[in-house]
């Protein structure tokens, strides 16, 4: 035996295994075959199929998991549907008590959950025990509070119904908590599919639900592979799909749900930048890298897998990283002294090996520690890749393993350009002692979460989710709750004001007839042009469309825009820099537009009467409502505030609303003027540039409005107006990779087409029910529109020692 003095000299660690006897006993007693948890009871799979679940650290079989099929999913969804009304009607306080009970029981059995998670997933026990399980309990405690407050804080909302949830294998129980806690808090019931590799803690959670007497059917767990997930996604009685996983699968889900009316949230892949400036504390940076990329073996969607280091410190940082990598311990995950555990499965290990070898062939220098990895199980050593080109595959593709690439920059502008040189936008870390620089860089990075001098910090109070092809929607915080509710429909008046149909309205009498007679129609040979980049533009195709009034008589012509015109409009919208203007300036411009619209109300009222056949009073109401709506969004422009989340760290966690970028809006068919203003100006108020497709029925009301834009100091390209056939313009905008969000107010078939095509770059979409909305009422303005025109970036700023 070595002497104590020798141990102090070598500082070698001895084995410190965590006891997993209770977990293995639970597996043996409950299994080794596990069925589905449906309607509060254990059910055998309808197809009778099972598959093995293995310990990644030694390849030993732990048990057998049921393979779910369509019949199992049908049964689970039916149970969830039957339970949903009762769960909703239980009220916020009742739901809060159940969520609180879940949190307490998780804490009572925390060691069992931690060891079971490590056995099934291969992550170090220190991570399961000290990070994952406490955060799981935190989510249920936090959302118990939201359940209690829901009636007051979300009084205008109602639950969606049945939520279908599909989670990955990298954080099995934590992802379950992220999904189930907000769904239950807001009155939904759940059908959840855990990852096929890591189902055991989800099944133990199902048992916990039974222990606390959660009403049957509120939580249902159906296990299986991708076939089970597809059955949940495609089930017609599921109202919401929440998915965490790869971008490729997320794109398939977007396509599969197009036109179904399902609400979806996607938390997808990432290639997160880790920016190191020359004044950063390099010792802290090194430990930050350890947490960023070697935490959970790099199997983290927001892993800091791209180090962007200032060229003045890059070499020193690489040297320190190599020295630190030599001290990392890889081995049996149940050893409390191990830093890096096992890769989840052979298929993932082969992917990591293949991508690293590809990087070597592209010219990268690959460095790994001198120690060898365990021979049993699936392990891959921590890897540092230097001399990497920004265009190299290993710098662009999500490796999902303990592999980090290092590149250099010279200026802050170059750092931002490199950070944003990716199709993803999930997270980023910024390391500098200059708080001014840190916040400036954080605001420019296209990512849903930015950590300053820290990394991989999570909390239930702070929303998490991505930009770009990292998906949309948020999990955690107030914004995460919104993913599981919808606006409660307001009562519609018995006879809301509507415009006349073209051929069905008879000639009006008295004042209405006089108003139409006094209206001046434009000359029939005058063609209203497109409005692109602040200028009137002729259509690329050289065609025009005749516009008919309510009697079917020619009222004018508009340009027939085509896909080239749509692309030109997007190019103009990209070049504005509108998102960098101050909210105060945007408000002033919108107020000015309202003022100028009011100044020409007479001409617009006459145009409305002549085109639509509405009466003079109805025309006055629509124009007045349009002016008021412009003032509403001018008022909101500098008041759509964020929040400071109360996360339990020494952090200021800033939740900052940001514009989506370039938005396409297919305006409602009617009302022609008010519908245009109600859908174009919420995005503009928040800093988005808009490409608007005017009402195909009443496009002249939108083309008249661009004269207001020209006199209201609206910068070129902020609002671009296309006219023509919606079905010709819609596909180009829905599939355009430079369009970041799209609103569509039209037919169900058109909405399905938009959602399907939006999968190309996973742009955010909102399918507004144009025909059913009372555009003169309060439901046609305000917070709902602003939420769909913005996304939340969470910036974590630590303070103190």
Positions marked catalytic: 267, 301
Query: Measured over all CA atoms, what is the biggest interatomic distance in the chain, rounded to whole angstroms?
Result: 110
Q: Are 337 and 16 in contact (CB under 8 A)?
A: yes
Q: Hey, what's the torsion of the CAs at 102, 104, 109, 114, to 10 degrees?
A: 80
Residue 271 CA from chain centroid, whole number: 16
Q: Are 796 and 457 in contact (CB under 8 A)?
A: yes
User: Cα–Cα distance between 58 and 376 in angstroms, integer?
Assistant: 5
User: Cα–Cα distance between 93 and 264 in angstroms, integer?
Assistant: 27
CB burial of residue 647 (10 Å; 0-12, 13-18, 19+): buried
**3-class DSSP string for 678-734:** HHHHHHHHCCCEEEEECCCCCHHHHHHHHHHHHCCCCCCCCEEEECCCHHHHHHHHH
Q: Are 18 and 115 in contact (CB under 8 A)?
A: yes
User: Cα–Cα distance between 154 and 680 in angstroms, integer?
Assistant: 26
Residue 717 phi, psi (nearest 5): 90, -15
Helix (H) or strand (E) holding 273: strand 273-276
- What is each CA distance from 270 to 303, 383, 465, in whole angstroms? 8, 18, 10
Residue 512 CA from chain centroid, whole number: 49
User: Cα–Cα distance between 668 and 695 in angstroms, integer?
Assistant: 6
| Cβ-based neighbour number of residue 648 at 10 Å | 10
Residue 159 CA from chain centroid, whole number: 19
Nearest-10 crossing angle of helices 91-108, 200-211: 120
| Cβ-based neighbour number of residue 634 at 10 Å | 21
Question: Which residues share a beta bridge with 191?
Answer: 164, 220
User: Cα–Cα distance between 628 and 61 in angstroms, integer?
Assistant: 67
CB burial of residue 276 (10 Å; 0-12, 13-18, 19+): buried
Helix (H) or strand (E) holding 637: helix 616-637
User: Cα–Cα distance between 143 and 146 in angstroms, integer?
Assistant: 5
Q: Which two tokens stand for residue 400?
A: 């999902």
Instruction: Say how many residues make up the chain.
Output: 801
Q: Which two tokens stand for residue 387?
A: 């001399």
Helix (H) or strand (E) holding 242: strand 240-244
Strand (E) positions, 129-178? 157-159, 162-166
Residue with token string 């939740």: 655
């Amino acid at each position: 035996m070595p002497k104590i003095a020798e141990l102090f000299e070598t500082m070698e660690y001895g084995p410190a295994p965590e006891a997993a006897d209770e977990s293995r006993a639970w597996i043996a007693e409950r299994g080794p075959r596990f069925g589905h948890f449906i309607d509060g009871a254990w059910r055998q799979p309808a197809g009778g199929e099972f598959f093995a679940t293995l310990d990644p650290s030694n390849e030993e079989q732990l048990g057998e998991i049921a393979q779910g099929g369509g019949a199992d999913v049908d049964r689970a969804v039916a149970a969830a549907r039957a339970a949903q009304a009762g769960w909703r009607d239980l009220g916020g306080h009742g739901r809060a008590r159940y969520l609180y009970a879940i949190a307490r029981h998780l804490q009572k059995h925390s060691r069992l959950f931690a060891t079971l998670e490590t056995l099934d997933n291969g992550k170090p026990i220190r991570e399961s025990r000290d990070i994952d399980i406490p955060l799981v309990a935190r989510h249920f405690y936090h959302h118990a509070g939201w359940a209690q407050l829901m009636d007051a804080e979300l009084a205008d909302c109602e639950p969606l119904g049945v939520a279908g949830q599909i989670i990955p294998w990298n954080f099995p129980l934590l992802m379950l908590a992220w999904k189930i806690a907000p769904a239950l808090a807001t009155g939904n019931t759940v059908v959840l599919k855990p990852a096929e590799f890591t189902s055991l803690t989800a099944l133990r959670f199902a048992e916990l639900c039974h222990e606390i007497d959660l009403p049957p059917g509120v939580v249902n767990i159906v296990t299986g592979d991708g076939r089970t997930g597809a059955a949940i996604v495609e089930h017609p009685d599921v109202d919401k799909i929440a998915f965490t996983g790869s971008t490729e699968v997320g794109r398939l889900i977007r396509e599969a749900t197009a036109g179904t009316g399902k609400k979806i949230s996607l938390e997808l892949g990432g290639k997160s930048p880790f920016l190191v400036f020359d004044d950063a504390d390099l010792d802290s940076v090194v430990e930050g890298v350890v947490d960023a990329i070697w935490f959970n073996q790099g199997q983290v969607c927001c892993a800091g897998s791209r180090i962007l280091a200032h060229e003045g410190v890059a070499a020193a940082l690489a040297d320190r990283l190599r020295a630190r990598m030599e001290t990392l311990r890889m081995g049996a995950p149940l050893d409390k002294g191990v830093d890096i555990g096992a890769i989840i499965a052979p298929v993932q290990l082969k992917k990591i090996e293949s991508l690293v070898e590809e990087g070597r062939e592209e010219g990268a220098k690959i460095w790994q520690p001198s120690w060898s990895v365990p021979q049993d199980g699936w392990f891959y050593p921590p890897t540092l890749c230097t001399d990497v080109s920004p265009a190299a595959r290993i710098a662009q593709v999500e490796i999902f393993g303990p592999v980090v690439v290092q590149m250099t920059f010279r200026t802050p502008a170059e750092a931002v350009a490199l950070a944003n040189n990716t199709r993803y936008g999930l997270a980023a870390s910024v390391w500098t002692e200059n708080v001014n620089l840190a916040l400036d860089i954080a605001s420019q990075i296209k990512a849903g979460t930015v950590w300053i001098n820290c990394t991989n910090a999570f909390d239930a109070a702070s929303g998490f989710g991505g930009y770009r092809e990292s998906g949309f929607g948020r999990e955690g915080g107030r914004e995460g709750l919104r993913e599981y509710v919808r606006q409660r429909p307001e009562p519609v008046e018995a006879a809301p004001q509507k415009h006349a149909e073209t051929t069905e309205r008879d000639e009006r009498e008295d004042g209405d007839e006089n108003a139409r007679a006094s209206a001046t129609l434009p000359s029939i040979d005058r063609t209203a042009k497109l409005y692109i980049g602040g200028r009137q533009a002729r259509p690329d195709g050289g065609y025009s469309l005749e516009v008919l009034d309510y009697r079917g008589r020619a009222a004018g012509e508009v340009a027939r825009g085509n896909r080239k015109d749509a692309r030109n409009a997007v190019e103009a919208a990209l070049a504005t820099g509108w998102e960098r203007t101050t909210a105060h300036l945007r408000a002033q411009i919108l107020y000015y537009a309202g003022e100028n619209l009011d100044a020409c109300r007479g001409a617009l009222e006459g145009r409305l009467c002549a085109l639509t056949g509405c009466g003079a009073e109805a025309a006055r109401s629509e124009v007045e409502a349009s002016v008021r709506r412009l003032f509403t969004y001018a008022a909101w422009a500098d008041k759509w505030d964020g929040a400071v989340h109360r996360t339990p760290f020494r952090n200021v966690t800033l939740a900052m609303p940001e514009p989506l970028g370039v938005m396409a809006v297919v305006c409602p068919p009617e009302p022609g003027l008010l519908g245009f203003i109600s859908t174009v100006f919420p995005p503009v108020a928040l800093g988005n540039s808009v490409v608007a497709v005017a009402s195909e029925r009443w496009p002249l009301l939108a083309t008249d409005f661009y004269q207001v834009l020209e006199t209201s100091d609206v910068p070129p390209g902020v609002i671009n107006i296309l006219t023509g056939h919606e079905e010709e313009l819609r596909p180009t905008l829905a599939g355009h990779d430079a369009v970041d969000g799209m609103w569509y107010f039209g037919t169900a078939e058109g909405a399905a087409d938009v959602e399907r095509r939006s999968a190309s770059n996973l742009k955010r979409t909102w399918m507004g029910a144009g025909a059913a909305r009372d555009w003169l009422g309060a439901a046609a303005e305000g917070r709902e529109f602003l939420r769909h025109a913005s996304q939340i970036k969470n910036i974590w700023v630590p303070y103190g020692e």
